[in-house]
Structure 1
Amino acid sequence: MPHHAMLMPTLAHVVGDEPHDGHWWTAWNIDPVIIPVLLLLSTLYTVGLINMWRRAGTGHGVSRLQATAFAFAILSLVVALISPVDVLAIELSWVHMIQHMIIMMIAAPLFVIAAPTRVMLFAFTTVGRVRLGAMFRMPGPYLLWQPLLTWALYAFTLWIWHIPTLYEAALRNELVHDAQHLAFFIASCLFWRVLLDPLSRLRLNLGLGVLYLFTSSLHSSALGVFLALSPRVWYPHYETTTAAWNLTALEDQQLAGLVMWMPACTLYAAAAALMFYFWMRQLQHPLPAVAPIPNQKLETGN
């Protein structure tokens, strides 16, 4: 039987009520929650960017590179959550792992680099901007930017959603599935913000950043190892879908574990190596630690 001989009925909550007769590449996820949210984020960022650059000049406040990062973050989320990747993720566990990697290790860091909070504030009036900005300066939000807390939240979110009961619920219920992806995205944005925040005073020390990434790679790799080497199937749902792809559910799970174990670990290692390189350069050529001063024109809206 060809790999994509059919799409299982369990895909109904993702792609609609009618099967796609094996043409999985046409099965896009027209989700009534995800699409409006992505459109809203894109609109707020675009309007905010136009207003910001109109006041401060193109490329000021945020750079063209940051604006490009936002575009690619949204594109990554479209690939992960709306494209046929979302369909295959219900059929194959290893694709589901790739989907999660796109959300957590590509879309989230790009989103952080784009400085979305700063830009989106400029989609509002001056009064609204001041009020919303004050909310982000309260102690509560800043607690979520503490490295130990964000590290623990990231690890907890990753592991808790791979508990079979919750994972199976996400596969079978659209709202739970959306909640899973939202949890992954928020936890990942907080995780990467500590390392990539555009304001240097809010970033973790480069040396500690290497440790932050290394320890994260250890626990995520451990989860991948457990999946890859487990003698039993963790998620019975895939026992009903993988046969159409000439795989057993256990083989599919082993591939999923390897995806989490090897490629994910490589991405963490690459980020840690890059951070280590800049740390060594910083130690050899120390520079005065001067936090960037926000553009007064942008802050006041004058």
Structure 2
Amino acid sequence: MRLISIVLLASLPGFAAAHGLLDGHLEERLPVWLSALLLGAAWLLYIVGCRTVRPHGREALWMHLAMVITVLAVFGPIDDWAETSTSLHMVQHMLFMIVIAPLWALARPLPQWRAALGPKIQPLYRGILRSGRYPVALAMLHGAMIWVWHTPSLYMLALENTWWHVVEHACFLFSAWLFWWSCLRASPNQVPHALMAILLTLMHTGLLGALLTFGNTPFYGESRDLADQQLAGLLMWVPGSLVYLAAAGWITWRWLARIWRRQDAATGI
């Protein structure tokens, strides 16, 4: 797994070349270069931290899988296709919010990053851990990011300006990671709040998907194909809902399993 990670990190320049970073427009592509360096540094620091703090179970697998998908989503051809296709743009956003972010939450990389960076990351580490106590608040934050960046003006701004495009991606990834962290890592006392957070997210993302699906005019410019926009709405509505429902079911099952174990222990079975 480490060898695969090193090879993929080394291949980042290849993705960069395909993504237009080496086409001579350095000033325009600088924000993407910076995001590539940040992603590579986060991945490398995780590998270094694993030498000190060994991941539990399949956490390392989830982390490396999430990073591979992130590289493909951000630096692969899907990002170029997303500039002209609303549905492929939605695929990219859904990868951020319902694939990469929950994998990061399951991977639990903070102990490895803290081991690699030392006390410098301690304030951020504590802040993220404390924020995880409030799943509904984080769901509202994540929901705000979704709706704000899907307004026509900011959506087009992100397409036309590379800096804002990177900011958009960062907002989706970071807010979704916090949301999934608080839900998938919820303590037994926080499970009802986590389920409420997932229900809230399921409802408002389904609403946004329905608006895109049943809209009779293109929301993001007359040059956009209406059928492509409707497909984007279905992608957010249907696969997204299935993921949120599956997550709610998994959280509920773990919660009930804990209760059953305690009852068995109390009755001596």
| TM-score for the superposition, normalised by structure 2 | 0.80
Give the gaps of 5 or more residues in structure 2.
1-18, 24-30, 265-269
The yes-or-no answer on 1:66 pairing with 2:59 is yes
1:205 aligns with 2:190: yes
Task: Give the drift of 1:134.
Answer: 4.8
Confirm whether residue 193 of structure 1 aligns to residue 169 of structure 2. no
**2:135 aligned partner:** 147
Give the % identical residues. Answer: 27
1:148 is displaced (CA, Å) by 2.6
Match of 1:179 in 2: 167
Change (3 A) 1:150 1:135: closer
Q: Confirm or deny: 8 A CA contact 2:135 2:194 kept in the other structure.
A: no
CA distance 1:32–1:65, shift in 2 (3 Å): same
* SS in structure 2 at match of 1:133: helix
Per-residue deviation, 1:37: 1.3
Displacement of 1:275: 1.9
Does the alignment pair 1:95 with 2:88?
A: yes
- 8 Å contact 2:136–2:193 — kept in the other structure? no
Deviation above 4 Å: which 4+ runs of structure 1?
none
In 1, are the aligned partners of 2:70 and 2:96 still within 8 Å (CA)? Answer: yes
Q: Paired residue for 1:156?
A: 144
- The structure with the largest alpha-carbon Rg is 1
Q: SS in structure 1 opposite 2:102?
A: helix
| TM-score after normalising by structure 1 | 0.72
| 1:119 alignment partner in structure 2 | 112
Select the structure that is richer in helix: 2
Mark the CA change 1:144 to 1:251 in structure 2 (over 3 Å): closer, same or farther: same
Alpha carbon RMSD of aligned pairs, Å? 2.5
Q: Deviations over 1:91-124 (max 9, x none)?
A: 2101111101111111111112222221111113
Cα separation, 1, equivalents of 2:21 and 2:121: 38
Structure 1: runs of 5 or more not aligned: 1-13, 19-29, 54-61, 243-248, 289-302
Report the counterpart of residue 15 of structure 1 in structure 2: 20
Whether the 8 Å contact between 1:225 and 1:261 is mirrored in structure 2 is yes
Residue pair 2:66, 2:104 contacting (<8 A) in 1 also = yes
| SS in structure 2 of the partner of residue 63 of structure 1 | coil
Structure 2 counterpart of 1:66, which letter? E
Answer yes or no: is 1:250 the counterpart of 2:226. yes
Secondary structure of 1:15 counterpart: coil
For the residue of structure 1 that corresponds to 2:150, the secondary structure is coil
Alignment counterpart, residue 227 of structure 1, candidates 196, 212, 224: 212
Q: Which residue pairs with 2:43 in the alignment? A: 42
Q: Is the 8 A contact 1:206 1:278 kept in 2?
A: no
